[in-house]
A and B are shown apart, each in its own frame.
Chain A
Amino acid sequence: MIEIKGLVKTFPDKRVIDGITVDIREGELFSVIGPSGMGKSTFIKCLIRLLKPESGQIVVDGTDIGSTTNEFTLAKVRRSFAYLFQEGALFDSLTVFENVSFGLKYLTDIPKSDYPKIVKEKLALVGLKDVEHLKPAELSVGMKKRVSLARSIAFAPKYILYDEPTTGLDPVTTGMVKDLITDMRAKLGITSVVVTHDMKLALDISTRVAMLYNGKFVEVSEPPKFRQSPDPAVREFMRISHLGTGDAAQ
């Protein structure tokens, strides 16, 4: 379970996260939506402490990593997380095989001889085959994202953080990624946090949706209730996402 209490993150010119308090429960699929530039990526980067918040607590399975400077505590907590980066963040100098097996080498005790089987299996799960020998530069944007997803799930994490998982993907791949995110939760019980500006995706797959606006969660609720939210920011975002206002959606 991830408990977030009074999270504040500021950049020199802006307070991006302004005292967020929320619990992300075991096994749930929690989505954070909001317009671009509102701090959604900043929020999940704080969860895994890729960014250090100014104040607040981030308690992951009982360990507060909000303000710790202990690298070992951070490394230990990060081991239970996988992170799907917006642009994939594949290592350019490594092949697809080396990228997908990277986490296996550093996060597990699985013997090297098992890597080919696991890599093949995870790549098949994201709809790729015979790409193990390719370098990231030889892949399309969609393929990079799928390889990145295979890398994220290869070491069986407890939590997965998805940063704009469907941005830049074609509709077929978007559907595949959507199914994969729901499967991760349904079959493996992985707790997922999805950050997206795709309102439809968030409402379709999530157990709870949070709307980030001006540094705060202005609405946190289950999708049916979210659709009925009276909050003006939510209603406006629903309208521009062509999902109608709360009333119309009803």
Chain B
Amino acid sequence: MKYYISEAVGRGVLGLAEALGSAALMLRSVLYWLFSSRFELSETIKQAVKIGVDSITVTALTSFFTGMVLALQMGHSMKNLFNEPMYVGTMVAFSMLKELGPVLTSIVVAGRAGAVVTAEIGTMQVTEQIDALYTLGTNPTRYLLVPRYIAFMIMLPLLTVFADFIGVAGGCLVGVVKLGVSPAVYMDDIYTYLGVSDFMHGFLKTFFFAFMIATVSCHKGLTTKGGAEGVGKSTTEAVVISMVLVMVLDYFISALLVAVGV
């Protein structure tokens, strides 16, 4: 029994070390090709559309209803405490800009675009299309990974800004219609108590999230084995790992940003 447990632990540790090692090698290759090759503009635009534009609807819906429910909960809590829905705008905007906007958008993008990237690269891997790229004079890192990294790094922050606005607008709608807060008061609460640093706190985090989602999605795609079943497995793993890492990274980056005063 002991032998099997130690064998399983050993295999797990070796597997993790191998995955981290190959991800590090992939990252080295991405950084190399990012700064030293001809830019695949059309491929990057194609990926930006897939990752960003195609995620707009689901991001808008998620953030709009999150803003609405935040306003509803905060407003009723304030009513219970102070007999008046105070600071609804402040609390909705604060939550959206610093935490929920970046985190929810990253989770949506990891689940939608990250899954697409892993499935696409994974399918290319199991059908020898990645090998075909090598034989046609193209490095897969340059042709496949670099455009996806750039697209994630550009589109996720933009989507987050969009989600922040939509979330605040959703909160405003509930504030005005359900809680009787005037739009002017709602906006004044935001302008009075929120600064640029609050926005930057959330905005800067998205670059780390984008980089992490791109790395996990691409790496899982490239290491796919075993046909269609393998593609499904890699895709699921990529989404789960990305979502968990968004949460984990969120704490550590927030702590870092707080420490440096952002």
Are B131 and A107 touching (Cβ within 8 A)? no
Is the CB of B73 closer than 8 A to any CB of chain A? no
Is the CB of B195 closer than 8 A to any CB of chain A? no
> Quick one: which of B120-148 are within 8 Å of A by CB?
120, 123-124, 127-129, 131-132, 134-139
Report Cα–Cα, A87/B128, bound state, in Å: 8
Q: With A71-B139, A103-B137, A107-B137 given, is the CB distance from A45 to B131 under 8 Å?
A: yes
Decide if the interface of chain B is mainly helix, strand, loop or mixed.
Answer: helix
Partner pick for B123 among A45, A71, A75, A92, CB 8 A cutoff: A92
Partner pick for B132 among A89, A93, A107, CB 8 A cutoff: A89
Are B135 and A78 touching (Cβ within 8 A)? yes
Are A50 and B131 touching (Cβ within 8 A)? yes
| Cβ contacts under 8 Å, B132 to chain A | 83, 85, 89-91
Partner pick for A89 among B128, B137, B138, B139, CB 8 A cutoff: B128
Are A81 and B136 touching (Cβ within 8 A)? no
Is the CB of A102 closer than 8 A to any CB of chain B? yes
Smallest Cβ-Cβ distance to B142: which chain A residue: A106
Are A85 and B123 touching (Cβ within 8 A)? no
Partner pick for B131 among A79, A85, A93, A102, CB 8 A cutoff: A85
Are B127 and A89 touching (Cβ within 8 A)? yes
Q: Interface extent on B, as a size class? A: 10 to 19
What are the interface flags for A84-99 relative to B under an 8 Å C-beta threshold, 1 for contact and 0 otherwise? 0111011111000000
Partner pick for A78 among B124, B127, B129, B137, CB 8 A cutoff: B137
Report Cα–Cα, A95/B135, bound state, in Å: 18
| Cβ contacts under 8 Å, B129 to chain A | 89-92
Are B137 and A75 touching (Cβ within 8 A)? yes
Report Cα–Cα, A140/B127, bound state, in Å: 16
Partner pick for A87 among B120, B127, B136, CB 8 A cutoff: B127
> Quick one: which of B100-138 are within 8 Å of A by CB?
120, 123-124, 127-129, 131-132, 134-138
Report Cα–Cα, A81/B134, bound state, in Å: 10
Is the CB of A195 closer than 8 A to any CB of chain B? no
Are B137 and A48 touching (Cβ within 8 A)? no
Are B137 and A79 touching (Cβ within 8 A)? yes
Partner pick for B135 among A81, A87, A93, CB 8 A cutoff: A81
**Max chain A C-beta neighbours (<10 A), residue from B127, B129, B131, B136:** B136
Known: A78-B135, A83-B132, A92-B127. 20 other contacts (CB 8 A): A45-B131, A50-B131, A71-B139, A75-B137, A78-B134, A81-B135, A83-B135, A85-B131, A87-B127, A87-B128, A89-B132, A90-B129, A91-B124, A92-B124, A92-B129, A102-B136, A103-B137, A106-B138, A107-B137, A151-B136
**A interface with B by C-beta (< 8 Å):** 45, 48, 50, 71, 75, 78-79, 81-83, 85-87, 89-93, 102-103, 106-107, 151
User: Could you pull out 27 A-B pairs where Cβ atoms are within 8 angstroms?
Assistant: A48-B135, A50-B131, A50-B134, A50-B135, A71-B139, A78-B135, A78-B137, A81-B135, A82-B135, A83-B131, A83-B132, A83-B135, A85-B128, A85-B131, A87-B128, A89-B127, A89-B131, A90-B132, A91-B132, A92-B124, A92-B127, A92-B129, A93-B120, A102-B136, A102-B138, A106-B136, A106-B137
